[in-house]
Amino acid sequence: MFLRNGRTGVLDLSTGESSEHELAEESLTAGSSLELAESLRREHGDAVVLGTGLLTGSLVPAACAGFICSARGVMPLLGYAGVELKLTGFDFIVIKGEPPVPGYVWARDGIAEFVPYEGMSSMDSWARTERIRADQGDRRIQVVAAGPWGDSLRPGSSLAVSHWLGEDDVSTALEFGRRKLLAVAFRGMGELEVSDPEGHLSASLELRSAHASRLGRSAGLASYWEGAGDSGFSSLLHRVVSCFGCPHPCRSFLKVNEDPGHMALTSTEPGYMHFDVPSLGKAVGAGMGFRDATTAFMECAKAGADPSSVLASGATVESVKGALASGSAQAVDRPSATGSFRSLATFEECVGLGLCPRYWAKAGLDIDALSACAEPGLGRPLR
Amino acid sequence: MRLGLDPLKCVACGLCETVCSLNRDGVLGPMSSSIILHVEDRADYFGLVLKTEGDGLVVARPEGGAEGQGGGSTGPGAKPILLREPCDLCGGDPKCAKVCPTGCITVEG
């Protein structure tokens, strides 16, 4: 089986028991991974299902996407979360039931387990991320963390994916909250077999080259959102960062707590990774400068609260802090917001295949060209 | 021939790690690669560590290149780079330089 693991892990939080199930190759290749995840979710009684696409982790450009499928809809997992999830040895991880005490799910090396950790409830999403990495001894563990807002089932709750907000357009954090699930962490130390390694590499480079003229200059978030071309944004820009396998990154890190040009590792919390276009657009539209927006977003990320929702209380750092302290926010309709991942026409098709919807919306999703690129990896046509 | 690393051009896409394993073992996954990405994501700090035949570990830090031992560990959960095979330059056609989208990795000499 090429580019897949062929296994689903099922974890019952109410008993702590886990099991593995083989997935027939036909079920993995016949339709979208999202359809299969939805069917697993229903089969296991309104579970939360983490999954990856057929091409996640391949050399197809921007094949970084995984997802979380819940009753609230589909949340993409970008950055390194998708590929790390796939390299755990599972194509899907089904999480069902409710544990007696709060804790987190930890998946790696074909093992998925629940770690009870009541003391973690008092931590914010960043502290949870750092605690799990320290306890499990690996800085590259990906942590999808709820914060105090998700735990309290507040409107506008949002999951942070390895510190940053922007992917949880459907408030999946509420599904974590109602299960006493504080975080899901995973590290991919496995490998994926490839039918024709040389052919897959060559085809991927060829496709990437064909995209170049459509993508234009690579400038981080400014390549995808014109608001990031502002001098107030660029004056705070530290570095541009890519998700796994993406040649045209959309992530721009702004430093507000130290000189943006400072490259050494000194401050642990120097700033924020911006790629959440709806929230940044809302902040700027309400008159907030990029420095204040960055500071406010750091606070929102720790709380696990969608900035778009919190900004309804006022567009200043103080008003955001006040709203976070009082727990007041007005949930906004993120999925339809301009610049949200969900608003892109090919969102489901891309995420179901394991591709970044933002990159492919810009490059143009041509299934024939994609298939020619994927076929040497898969050892068969894409469809 | 050797690899040149310019960490300030790196965007942390991870393709270098991935193609290194692909060339070495024919699989996708970074655990056997001779080059690794060192990332501290909350601080947006990242650079590359390359295990070479002649120069030992080459540590490309964004604050300024430095060569020699140290750095680059991704923790005890990952296979430490010192236990990995050194870079063999893919037999004269380094794939990491070919796949790097920013020119961070180049072939010198």
Q: Is A285 exposed, middle or buried (0-12, 13-18, 19+ CB in 10 A)?
A: exposed
Confidence (pLDDT) at A102: 98
Identity of the amino acid at A142? Q
The candidate with the shortest Cα–Cα distance to A382, out of A364, A367, A361, is: A367
- Nearest-CA neighbor of A305 among A102, A131, A117, A165? A165
Structure tokens at A78: 């970008």
Six token digits for residue A149: 């807002």
Which residues of chain B make contact with A2, given a CB cutoff of 8 A? none
Contact criterion met (CB below 8 Å) for A82 and A354: yes
Q: Which of A140, A191, A267 lies at the smallest CB-CB distance from B78?
A: A140
CA separation for the pair A164, A143 (Å, rounded): 10
Q: Nearest chain B Cα to A85, which residue?
A: B29
Strands (E), A250-317: 251-255, 271-274
Cβ-defined contact of B44 to A271 (cutoff 8 Å): yes
* Residue A96 host element (H or E): strand A92-96
ipTM of the complex: 0.95
Q: What is the pLDDT of residues A65-107, one digit of tens each?
A: 999 999 999 999 999 999 999 999 999 999 999 999 999 999 9
Whether residues B23 and A197 touch (CB distance < 8 A) is answered with yes
Nearest to B13 among A129, A247, A271 (CB): A247
B15, B28, B102 ranked by CB distance to A194: nearest: B28
Q: What's the pLDDT score for residue A328?
A: 82
What span, in angstroms and rounded, lies between the C-alpha atoms of B21 and A141? Answer: 20
Instruction: Work out the average pLDDT over B45-61.
Output: 92
For residues A75 and A62, give the distance between their C-alpha atoms in angstroms, rounded to a whole number: 17
Cross-chain residue pair A191–B28, CB shorter than 8 Å: yes
Condensed to tens digits (0 to 9), the pLDDT of residues A119-148 reads 999 999 999 999 999 999 999 999 999 999
Mean pLDDT along residues A287-304: 98
Cβ pair B43:A267 closer than 8 A = yes
> Contact B13/A201, CB-based, under 8 Å?
no
Nearest Cβ partner for B26 among A108, A194, A218? A194
- Cα(A129)–Cα(A172) distance, integer angstroms: 17
Question: Which among B13, B19, B31 has the least Cβ separation from residue A242?
Answer: B13
Are B43 and A108 in contact (CB < 8 Å)?
no
Beta carbons of A192 and B74 less than 8 Å apart: no
At B72, is the pLDDT very low, low, confident or very high (cuts 50, 70, 90)?
very low
CB pair distance less than 8 Å for B62 and A239: yes
Where residue A32 falls among pLDDT bands split at 50, 70, 90? confident
Question: What is the distance between the alpha carbons of residues A152 and A246, in angstroms, rounded to a whole number?
Answer: 36
In contact, A33 and A52? CB cutoff 8 Å: yes
Q: What number of CA atoms fall less than 13 Å from residue A82's CA on the CB side?
A: 34
Question: Where residue A331 falls among pLDDT bands split at 50, 70, 90?
Answer: confident
Pairwise CA distance, residues A258 & A382, whole Å = 47
| A246-276 as b/e: b if 16+ CB within 10 A | bbbbbbbbbbbeeebeebebeeeebbbbbbb
Average pLDDT, chain B: 88
**Chain B neighbors of A240, CB-CB under 8 A:** 11
- Residue length of chain A: 383
Q: Could you tell me the pLDDT band of residue B80, with boundaries at 50, 70 and 90?
A: confident
Residue B70 has pLDDT above 80, yes or no: no
A83: chain B residues, CB-CB within 8 Å:
14
- H or E stretch covering A357: helix A357-363
Between CA A103 and CA A328, with CA A68 as vertex, the angle to 5 degrees is: 65
Its pTM stands at 0.96
Residue whose C-alpha is closest to residue B40's, from A193, A363, A141: A141
Integer Cα distance of A56 and A53 in angstroms = 5
Report whether A278 contacts A337 (CB < 8 A).
Answer: yes
Tokens of A345: 């026409």
| Nearest CA-CA distance, residue A190 and chain B, Å | 6
Nearest to B21 among A191, A245, A265 (CB): A191
> Best interface-test mutation with B: which of A263, A272, A274 has the largest number of B CBs within 10 A?
A263
Take residue B85 and report the two structure tokens written for it: 């095979």
How does A309-328 read in b/e, with b if 16+ C-beta sit within 10 Å? bbbbbebebebbbebbeeee
Distance of CA A70 to the CA centre of its chain: 14
Q: Percent of chain A beyond pLDDT 90?
A: 92
Identity of the amino acid at B28 = L
* CA dist., res. B63 & res. B8, Å (int): 8
Element holding A20 (H helix, E strand) = strand A18-22
Q: What is the pLDDT of residue B67?
A: 52
Yes or no, beta carbons of B18 and A130 under 8 Å apart: no
Q: How does residue A383 score in pLDDT terms, banded at 50, 70 and 90?
A: confident
For strand A92-96 and strand A142-145, is the pairing parallel, antiparallel, or unpaired? unpaired
Could you tell me which CATH number the domain at A7-192 has?
Answer: 3.60.9.10
CB-CB contact of A15 with A100 (8 Å): no
- Which helix (H) or strand (E) segment is A40 a member of? helix A33-43
